[in-house]
Amino acid sequence: MTAALHDATHPSAEPMELLRAMLEEQFAVHTARLTQLTVYARLPRHGGYDPRTLDGLAESSRQRIAQTAHALKRMSEGTYGTCADCHKPIPLGRLRAMPHATNCAFCERRRPETLVNEG
Ligand SMILES: [Zn+2]
């Protein structure tokens, strides 16, 4: 009896709601991080950070915020979970690992920036 309660996975839970919660959490986390980094940048000696490191961290947080906001927008438009290139559904496993993914793994590999000396 208690073993079932201990299991945190609920197969009946709506995957979309789970992914939305993950995206909202990431959005909140990265917004908070960016705010923190902005505060550090204004501090004398940048709170002990190297200014370039701060810039890099802020930039990656900004990118993640944009990707996450984009994913939430697609969710509200009903296009979330569909590959932007081939328009096939992105596998749920991939979305769980990368809720902001806009491409299926196949198209992601075909993208020029990840294509390394093929052919
Ligand atoms: Zn695709």
Q: Ligand 1 centre and the CA of 114: distance in Å?
A: 14
- Do the beta carbons of residue 54 and residue 46 sit within 8 Å? yes
CATH tag for 15-114 (out of 3.40.50.2000, 1.20.120.910, 3.30.70.260, 3.40.50.2300): 1.20.120.910
pLDDT of residue 15: 86
Joined tokens for residue 73: 């927008």
Say yes or no to pLDDT of 3 above 90. no
Locate all alpha helices (DSSP H) within the chain, ordered by sequence: 2-6, 15-42, 51-77, 92-97, 105-110
- Do the beta carbons of residue 23 and residue 75 sit within 8 Å? yes
Q: Ligand 1 centre and the CA of 101: distance in Å?
A: 11
Query: Residue 82: helix, strand or coil by DSSP?
Result: strand
Query: Residue 24: helix, strand or coil by DSSP?
Result: helix
- Do the beta carbons of residue 99 and residue 81 sit within 8 Å? no
Query: Residue 89: helix, strand or coil by DSSP?
Result: strand
Per-domain residue ranges for the chain? 15-114
Q: Ligand 1 centre and the CA of 95: distance in Å?
A: 13
Residues counted in the chain: 119
State pLDDT tens for residues 56-70: 999 999 999 999 999
State pLDDT tens for residues 67-117: 999 999 999 999 999 999 999 999 999 999 999 999 999 999 987 765 454
Q: Ligand 1 centre and the CA of 109: distance in Å?
A: 9
Q: 28-32, 37-41, 58-62, 107-111: which range is least confident on average?
A: 107-111
Say yes or no to pLDDT of 7 above 70. no
Say yes or no to pLDDT of 119 above 90. no
